[in-house]
Amino acid sequence: MNHALVALGALASAALCPVPVACAADAPSEIRIGHLYASAGRFASISMPVHYALKLWIDQKNADGGVFVKGFGKKIPIKLVDYDDQSNTSTAATLYNQLITQDKVDILIADSGSVLTSVAVPIARDHKVMLVDPTGTGAAFFSPDNPWIALMADPVSTVWPKPVADWVSQEGPRLGIKKLAILYSTNEFTGTQANAARKFIKESGAPIEIVFDQGVPTETSNYTVLINNIRAANPDMVLHFGYAPNDIAFLRNLADSGVKFKGLFCIYPGLETDLIEKNVGEKGLQYVMTYVTSNDLAYKVDFGMDLPRFRDAWSKKYPDGKVEFGFNSIAGYTTGLVLEKALGDMASLDQGELRRAIFAQSGKLKTLDGTFGLDETGGQIGELTPLGQFTPDEHGHLKLNAIYPQDTATGKPVYPRP
Amino acid sequence: MLIYSLLSGVLFGLYFSLIGLGLNLVFGVMRIVNLAHGDFLMLGAYCAFWMYTLFGVDPVYAIPVAFVLFALIGLPLYYALVPRLLAARDPEMLSIILFFGLSQVIEALSTIAFGTSEQSIPGSELGRSLRAFVGWLAGHDIESGPIEVFGQSFPSAWVMSAIASLVAVAFVYFYLYRTRTGYLTRAVMSRRDEALATGIDVHRISAIAFGIGIALASIGGVFAPFMLGSITPAMGVDATVTSFAVIVVGSLGSPLGTVLGGLVYGVSYMLVQTYLSSWANLLPYLLLIGILLVRPSGLLGKRVRLA
Amino acid sequence: MAPVTAAFAILPSVYSNHLLLFNFVVFLTLAQGVNVIYGFTGYLPFGYVGFFGAGAYGFSLLVMHLHAPPVLALGAAGVSAVALGLLLTPLLRLSGAYFSIANLAASLAVLHFISNPNLEPITRGPYGVSLSGVFNPDLAYSIAVAVMAFALIVVVYLRNSRFGLALQAVREDAVSAASAGVDVVRVRVYAWLISSVIAGFAGGVYAWYVSVFYPETVFGSDYSIFAIVFALFGGVSTIIGPIVGVVLLYGVYNFIGFSTPQYFQLIYGALIILLVLFLPQGLISFVKRRGVDVP
């Protein structure tokens, strides 16, 4: 755009929108938080819990008079400005822009789910607005030349598989795991995890041979032939990295074809336990290993509610159970807690100050989601996901035990499965 | 591994044939592209799901229920949409857009009604009553579980859907070649304008074909919770694209062509999944384009090519 | 045509949701691209987004691997779209729905090809593209407006040239057009390539503007379908039709999005059904029927 146009624009906007510019020393009457959610489409099931949890946090704070901001020396109420992007990326992009340019929000929170977060990254960067990213883990978002993003509530995709890879390479050989199979869906979230897991295991130097290593399209809905092929490779342990529908299809096909692997890891049984159990059945989940999220681990907290209290607050506020409580609700609430803590440290509502304050919490903030930790690009490297396993208790009901690393373990691994 | 993939390809291919069968009939008779085909499959799947969830009905019984229900839905739907469409200047092209719109409406209403999360029916429920019956005949209980075919074991749903597919093909054959309406349907297929001139009630014939077409889709849907992992309101699009690949690979108008298309598609899909898994989803599209361009026009009907 | 270009050149200074304006410009461009191929030859490109995506990736590859300046990379966007167009020319032998289905399949094949993890070193596979060095939305917006102007000029040319007349003659009746001396195959291929280069430029400039995207973002069938529906709604084989279609329909779409997005998909689907049943020739046909000549 040429200078004449810009000048014309400045003139026009001065004439058309005479917005009074608030003096920095004056406390604003409210903090405007902008947020997108998806009530329908592919990402609805992970987006809505985050949205509901944020609303819970905001209502709680506002009932208390608002959030304390250091620079103004008092509590200021929060105003939530939110839109529904229906899981559509181009709609989301337009709405992010709306939040920044028209609604002029003080804090911008992305929709969860990497694809919906992805469109916000360049927009926030362009406007030099800090993007508060609840759970979007895409590796492409975090780069040294983009300071305007921080990941709040789960680790970047490369960090997720660390515990399972460590367990396989350190405990595996002792238990008889010599041959490993890796099957993954070829998309950013699960593909990156498979690559990272493979790399960790190879670099560990453990005497483990990868006998099957294949990526399949994310749309794959039948795994029977693949399961047969994996069985033909005769692995001691199978790692399956896929989205929830992939896990459902894989575990169901496994049950239907009567194949039992000695050890099996899947992502989603630990993240969306209710959904997977509904579709796969308790029997299909027996002895399956998975990530243990803060949904199943009660971390000691320094700030905010702990897991039981948050769960109580959730069921009190949303008694109809339409949006299921799970890891994503915790992620939404954690996002609120990080912001609350950061605001308490901010001299003004300036975006650079917001960035400084968020990064300042790294390593210091312990919430129900674990220890908040950022690397220099804004990627989350605290809040780890230990390895867990579903084992039947004496009544035959499933119980998810954390099994690795040792310091968070609540049970012993059962390998090979009986 | 090779034999297993080949046999899987045959069994799964027969299921693909079942999915494509109805679409083939509709396109063959009306020359309209039913982009909502996969959404009727999705509705059939929810029909089986709700019958099971609410009343514990064995999904096998959902097959006749879905067939009758969707055939009855198809008739008024035909009269609401198609005659008006056929009156337009370029109905074949416009049908793509029209049925895309219909597909959106069906998906939106299903999302409102059923929610977005994945649903399924336990694998052992399909054919539960059949097993009980066979067990009663044999005098001992039959366990649910994989079925042996040529020394390889496959999920029982695969075998059952393959059988259902063969029955459906036989039904369409019988309808087209052994009934009076079927005879007229074939007349409409080959020469719509002449059929009209000779006084055949083309709309009635077409409406029945349309009803049967989406009813067959819904039967494919009954097996979907077992064959496709889980079901969601958004699953229709993939099913539609697969159906197109199947019917284009086979030949239009003939149910046997659809079986052939399904088998070619199924076997090549399973082979690619085994030996080049990450390229598996490129295959249907390449197969579709390749066959469209290479296959002699005779198998695809006379009006395939122009210029 | 000049007023539309001027309007979108000036609007950013008075309305600050630039991305919304940018999307309008992209859809205005794509709708004209669809107009070229569907309005003037009768081929319905259901996989039109393939060219858009090819353009986006052509642009990105040059920027990622050769660190090319964006304007040069835009050239690559056009070239890769035309290359895809050339590769797909055999599809033009197909008629009617067969062409549309094959075109849709082709766009999906390109999507799955590009997003294959084996190509990660080249295309970044399913992990998405991130272009950091060239980020400049203001300039990208201006170029997008220029691309739109280019698309408009093309359609104006088609409306007023022998070539455009030849195309319309072929669409109405290929046999008599051929006997009147029109090289049927050649004019069709030209229209096809022109339409592909328009989408390629649009895709390139889109990649530049957003700079972080996944394969599904730039190959989403929404783009094809929106562009077709917008063009049809206004009325194809005119200049104004697609413009009216985009401004009205995409305007309504965003209005629903900002106000009550509950029944987005439902309203949209219903609108499409009603459009085909009651306005198969587009809004413009209303005016035309009253004897007004529409450019």
pLDDT digit string, tens, across residues B173-197 = 999 999 999 999 988 888 888 888 8
pLDDT at A22: 42
For B285, the closest of C106, C188, C229 (CB atoms) is C106
C126/A10 CB distance under 8 A? no
Between CA C128 and CA B113 the distance in angstroms is: 34
Percent of chain C with pLDDT over 70: 97
Query: pLDDT band at B60, cuts 50/70/90?
Result: very high
Q: Does B135 touch chain A (CB under 8 A)?
A: no
DSSP string, A137-148: --GGG--TT--S
Average pLDDT over every residue of A98-107: 91
Q: Is the per-residue pLDDT at B299 higher than 60? A: no
- Chain B residue numbers with beta carbons less than 8 Å from the beta carbon of C50 are none
Spell out which residues of chain B touch residue C272, defining contact as CB-CB under 8 Å.
97-98, 100-101, 104
Residue A212 has pLDDT above 90, yes or no: yes
Residue B303 has its nearest CB partner, among C95, C265, C276, at: C95
Chain C residues in contact with A141 by the CB 8 A cut-off are: 130, 212
Q: What is the pLDDT averaged over residues A287-296?
A: 89
Domain contains A393: yes
Same domain flag for A114 and A196: no
| pLDDT value at residue A357 | 96
Residues 124 through 163 of chain C touching chain B, CB cutoff 8 Å? none
Q: Do the Cβ atoms of C20 and A98 come within 8 Å?
A: yes
Same domain membership, residue A244 and residue A390: yes
Q: Do residues A301 and A287 both lie within one domain?
A: no
Does residue A197 carry a pLDDT above 90?
Answer: yes
Residues A332-366: pLDDT tens digits? 999 999 999 999 999 999 999 999 999 999 999 99
Q: Is residue A12 part of a domain?
A: no
Predicted local distance difference test score (pLDDT) of residue B172: 92
Decide if pLDDT at A47 tops 60: yes
Q: What does the block give as tokens for C60? A: 């990105």
pLDDT value of position A16: 40
Annotated domain spans of chain B: 2-114+172-294
Contact in structure between C167 and C40 (CB atoms under 8 Å): yes
Shared-domain flag, residues A337 and A196: no
Is the Cβ–Cβ distance between A163 and A385 less than 8 Å? yes
Q: How many domains does chain A have?
A: 2
Distance (Å) from the C-alpha of residue B122 to the closest C-alpha of chain C? Answer: 31
> Nearest CA of chain B to the CA of C202: how many Å?
23
> Residue for token digits 């396109």?
B27
- Residue A3: the pLDDT is 45
CA distances, B17 to each of A212, B294, B296, C137 (Å): 31, 21, 21, 49
CA distance A320 to chain B (A): 15
Give the percent of chain C with pLDDT over 90: 34
In what helix (H) or strand (E) does residue B281 lie, and over which residues does it extend?
A: none
Evaluate whether B233 touches B111 at the Cβ level (below 8 Å): yes
Per-residue pLDDT at A6 exceeds 80: no
Pairwise CB contact (< 8 Å): B96 & C100: yes
Q: In what order do the strands lie in the sheet with A149-151?
A: A78-84, A31-37, A107-109, A131-133, A149-151
Q: How close, in Å, is residue B284 to chain A by CA atoms?
A: 13
Chain C residues with CB-CB distance to A86 below 8 A: 261, 264-265
- Could you tell me if residue A415 is inside a domain? no
Q: What confidence score (pLDDT) does residue A25 get?
A: 54
Tell me, yes or no, whether A278 and A312 share the same domain. no
Provide the pLDDT for residue B96: 83
Among A3-12, B175-184, B286-295, C130-139, the range of highest mean pLDDT:
B175-184
Q: Which residues of A touch B277 (CB under 8 A)?
A: 214-216, 226
Nearest chain C CA: its distance from B19 CA (Å): 17
What is the rounded end-to-end Cα distance, in angstroms, of chain C? 10
Q: Over the stretch B232-264, which tens digit does the pLDDT of each residue have? A: 888 888 888 888 878 877 766 677 888 888 898
Q: Which residue has the tokens 């901001």?
A: A69
* Closest CB to B153 among A216, A248, A257: A257
pLDDT of B162 over the 80 cut? yes
Cα gap B205→B209, rounded to integer Å: 6
Ranked by mean pLDDT, which of A155-159, C34-38, C124-128, C274-278 comes out on top? C34-38
A85 falls within a domain: yes
On whether both A179 and A116 belong to a single domain, the answer is no
Cβ-defined contact of C109 to B289 (cutoff 8 Å)? yes
The answer to whether the CB atoms of C265 and B107 lie below 8 A apart is yes
Q: Under an 8 A CB cutoff, do C106 and B31 touch?
A: no
Same domain, A199 and A143: no
Please provide the average confidence, as pLDDT, over all residues in chain C.
87
pLDDT computed for residue B156 by the predictor: 86
Tell me the CA distances in angstroms from B69 to B11, B211, B213, one per residue in order.
27, 10, 12
CB A276, CB A218: distance < 8 Å = no
What pLDDT score was predicted for residue B54? 93
Q: Identify the pLDDT of residue B289.
A: 79
C182 touching chain B per CB within 8 A: no
Q: Do residues A403 and A338 both lie within one domain?
A: no
Show the DSSP H helices in chain B as ranges: 2-30, 37-55, 59-86, 91-114, 128-138, 156-178, 180-190, 192-197, 202-227, 236-249, 255-275, 283-294, 297-300
Task: State the pLDDT confidence band at A257, using cuts at 50, 70 and 90.
Answer: confident
Q: Contacts of residue B288 in chain C, CB cutoff 8 Å?
A: 101-102, 105
Residue listed under structure tokens 């199947």: B246
Average pLDDT estimate for A232-250: 93
Give the pLDDT of residue A24. 45
| In chain A, % of residues over pLDDT 90 | 56
Q: Is C263 close to B288, i.e. CB distance below 8 A?
A: no
Of C38, C101, C266, Cβ closest to residue B248:
C101
Burial class of residue C42, CB neighbours in 10 A (0-12, 13-18, 19+): buried
- Do A228 and B1 lie within an 8 Å CB cutoff? yes
What pLDDT shows up at residue C260? 60
- What residues of A are in contact with residue C60 (Cβ under 8 Å)? none
Q: Using pLDDT thresholds of 50, 70 and 90, give the confidence band for residue C258.
A: low
Cα Dmax for chain C: 58
Same domain assignment for residues A135 and A63: yes
C-alpha distance from C139 to closest chain B C-alpha (Å) = 35
pLDDT number for residue B252: 66
B8 to chain A: nearest residue by CA?
A: A225
Tens digits of residue pLDDT in C189-235? 999 999 999 999 999 999 998 887 888 888 887 788 889 988 988 88
Residue A183 lies in domain: 162-292+386-408
| pLDDT reading at A17 higher than 50 | no
Which pLDDT score, from 0 to 100, does residue A348 have?
92
Which range has the worst mean pLDDT, A216-220, B256-260, C35-39, C285-289? Answer: C285-289
pLDDT in tens, C5-56: 878 878 887 777 778 889 899 999 999 999 999 988 888 898 999 999 999 9
- What pLDDT does residue C259 have? 65
Beta-strand runs (E) in chain C = 129-130, 212-213
Q: Is residue A115 part of a domain?
A: yes
- Secondary element (H or E) of residue A75: strand A74-76
* Residues A219 and A256 reside in one and the same domain: yes
Judge if A218 and A170 occupy the same domain: yes
Contacts of B145 in chain A (CB under 8 A): 256, 258
Asked if the C-beta of C285 comes within 8 angstroms of chain B's C-beta atoms, the answer is no
To test the contact with chain C by mutation, choose from A104, A123, A127 the residue with the greatest count of C C-beta atoms within 10 A, namely A123
Q: Are residues A44 and A86 in the same domain?
A: yes
Query: Where residue B211 falls among pLDDT bands split at 50, 70, 90?
Result: very high
Alpha carbon of C39: minimum distance to chain B alpha carbons (Å): 12
pLDDT digits (tens, 9 = 90+) for A114-172: 888 988 998 898 889 999 999 988 877 888 888 999 999 988 888 899 999 999 999 99
Give the model's confidence band at B127: pLDDT under 50 very low, under 70 low, under 90 confident, else very high.
confident
Question: What amino acid occupies position A90?
Answer: S
Contact B93 C185 (CB under 8 A): no
> Around Cβ C251, how many Cβ atoms within 10 Å?
12
Report the CATH number at residue A335.
3.40.50.2300
Three-state DSSP at A388 gives strand
Whether the pLDDT of residue B71 is over 90: the answer is yes
Write out the two tokens for A99. 């939040």
Q: Please report the pLDDT score of residue B253 as a whole number.
A: 65
For chain C, list the contacting chains (3+ Cβ pairs, <8 Å).
Answer: A, B
Residue in A225, A246, A278 nearest the CB of B274:
A225
Q: Could you give the CA distance from residue C45 to residue A263 in angstroms, rounded to a whole number?
A: 49
Say yes or no: ipTM exceeds 0.95: no
Q: Which residues of A touch B285 (CB under 8 A)?
A: none
Query: Are the beta carbons of B274 and A41 separated by less than 8 Å?
Result: no
> Is residue A416 included in any domain, yes or no?
no
The per-residue pLDDT of chain B, averaged, comes to 85
Instruction: Judge whether B270 is closer than 8 Å to chain A, CB to CB.
Output: yes
User: A146 lies in a domain?
Assistant: yes
* CA-based nearest residue to B119, from B49, B62, B60: B49
Name the more confident of C235 and A51.
A51
Answer whether residue A271 shows pLDDT above 90. no
Buried b (16+ CB within 10 A) or exposed e, A270-300: bbbbebbeebbbeebbbbbbbbbbbbbbebe
Rounded CA gap, A239 and A252, in Å? Answer: 16
| C96 in reach of chain B (CB within 8 A) | yes
CB contact under 8 A, B145 and A258: yes
With contacts defined as CB-CB under 8 Å, which chain A residues touch C262?
39, 84
pLDDT of residue A5: 42
Chains touching chain B through at least 3 C-beta pairs below 8 angstroms are A, C
Tell whether the model's pLDDT for residue B306 goes beyond 60.
no
Considering only residues C127 and A374, tell me which one the structure prediction assigns the higher pLDDT. Answer: A374
Least CB–CB distance from A98: residue in C142, C217, C258: C258
- Out of B154, B270, B278, closest to residue A215 by CB: B278
CB contact (8 A) between residue C261 and residue A39: yes
Q: Which residues in chain A are closer than 8 Å to C132, comparing Cβ atoms?
A: 143, 145-146
**What is d(CA C186, CA C141) in angstroms, rounded to the nearest whole number?**
34
